[in-house]
Amino acid sequence: MTSALPSSPAWDGVRRLLAVRLDNLGDVLMATPALAALRESLPEARLTLLASPAGAALAPHLPIVDDVIAYRAPWVRHPALAHVPVGAADRALVEQLAAGRFDGAVIFTTCTQSALPAALVCALAGVPLRLAYSRENPYRLLTDWVPDTEQVGPRMRHEVERQLRLVAAIGCAARDERLRFCLRPHDLASLAAACDGSGFDAGRPYVVVHPGASAPSRRWPAERFGAAAAQIARATGRAIAFTGTADEQPLVEAARAALRAPSWSFAGRLDLGAFGALIAGADLVLTNNSGPVHLAAALGTPVVDCYALTNPQHTPWRVPARVLSREVPCRDCLKSVCPQGHHGCLLGVTTEDAVHAALDLLATTAHPPLRRAALKKAFVLEHAG
């Protein structure tokens, strides 16, 4: 029977290490402290990240990772793959991993996901060491496993802590447990190009407002984002920059219409690096529980998070933040669409709640212009050349 006690001496000899995180960009960001722990504790290993295409987009911004493989796993929700059968792409992945001759694989999952499909892929590829959480006995699918006793509810560990505990089982730890996202001079230049001719000055104080989220259950009404932004702009004199994907442009325009004052939209206009640069220079990010929350946390930008109580473990990690929600008996439903239809955990958050949280956070965080200048200098110095 497979032991639940890992054999860290075997892992000490790993030279080709595979880290598996197959869901969204924000989930990969929340795994970066654990990736840093692997990098620091196994410094001679070459670290490859197996991620979804969304997660793989982080590759240029994660110098702790040596290589990235993009893969749409059929056991992870991807709307674009709803009718695509398991087949050639999955067999090709096994062949690719086998060619990589990995010595070990660490499989990161939430408590509602099974690590066993990824473990089977790694076993078929001949990866000899395989670590993951598992609720059931995985027998030979995992060589090292941590029993998953997590229960969905308010006392759940944060997702970052969950992954740090996993790698700690093989003796890996990070000196710095903050999220990672590195900007490059190219990203600052890309943002400047996007701003050129728009009238938006990234050197003046501004607030980023992101009204979108992948799940409808996590979206605070766009009109409230606009109304809150209007009050923040009037109270502080800060410019308002709206962001979102190209598909989220209708949400952004609804929010801007409610603002009824000059604002700037970067929806669908920024690549990930330029988006990160915009968030890094902001005094505050106002958004839903979505990827920009974790990007802001990685970049040290304060965030007001209109937080639907669908999942309890994704709050902003180690960054000045205000988390806004209303307690409801149906919390922790894990649903992408509110099953009760009332959306009470978010609709109970008023515009005034968001404005008060934003003004309070702006008044209590480090002086924004100084922070912006320090960030820009640090990023350019660190990544020049």
pLDDT tens for each residue of 43-63: 999 999 999 999 999 999 999
User: Considering the chain, what percentage of its residues have pLDDT values greater than 90?
Assistant: 75
- Strand order of the β-sheet with 206-210 is 264-265, 239-242, 206-210, 284-288, 303-306, 321-324
> What residue has token string 């029977």?
1
Q: What are the two backbone dihedrals, phi and then psi, of residue 248, each rounded to the nearest 5 degrees?
A: -95, 10
- For residues 63, 68, 72, 76, the Cα torsion angle rounded to the nearest 10 degrees is -50
Residue with the larger pLDDT of the pair 378 and 171:
171
Residue 42 has pLDDT above 70, yes or no: yes
Residue 154 has pLDDT above 80, yes or no: no
The pLDDT of residue 380 is: 44
The pLDDT of residue 382 is: 44
Question: Coil, helix or strand for 311?
Answer: coil
Residue 36 has pLDDT above 90, yes or no: yes
* CA 316 – CA 307 distance, rounded (Å): 10
Please give the structure tokens belonging to residue 238.
Answer: 């800060």
- The residues pairing with 239 across neighbouring beta strands, listed in sequence order, are 206
pLDDT tens for each residue of 264-322: 999 999 999 999 999 999 999 999 999 999 999 999 999 999 998 887 788 999 999 99
Structural element, H or E, at residue 122? helix 116-124
Task: Note the pTM of the prediction, 2 decimals.
Answer: 0.91
Mean pLDDT of 330-353: 86
Structural element, H or E, at residue 305? strand 303-306
> What residue has token string 């749409």?
72
Please give the structure tokens belonging to residue 48.
Answer: 């490859």
* CA 263 – CA 111 distance, rounded (Å): 40
* CA 49 – CA 57 distance, rounded (Å): 11
The pLDDT of residue 85 is: 65
The pLDDT of residue 4 is: 41
Pair 219, 346: CB distance under 8 Å = yes
Pair 210, 242: CB distance under 8 Å = yes
Residue 366 has pLDDT above 70, yes or no: no
> What confidence tier does 3 reach under pLDDT thresholds 50, 70, 90?
very low
Q: Which domains, from first to last, does the chain contain?
A: 8-168 (3.40.50.2000), 185-383 (3.40.50.2000)
Look at strands 206-210 and 284-288 and give their pairing: parallel
* CA 52 – CA 105 distance, rounded (Å): 16
Find the length of the chain.
385
The pLDDT of residue 341 is: 81
pLDDT tens for each residue of 224-249: 999 999 999 999 999 999 999 999 99
DSSP state of 287: E
Residue 203 has pLDDT above 90, yes or no: no
The pLDDT of residue 2 is: 43
pLDDT tens for each residue of 68-125: 999 999 888 765 555 556 678 889 999 999 999 999 999 999 988 999 999 999 999 9
The pLDDT of residue 367 is: 53
Residue with the larger pLDDT of the pair 136 and 313:
136
Mean pLDDT score of the chain, rounded to an integer?
Answer: 89
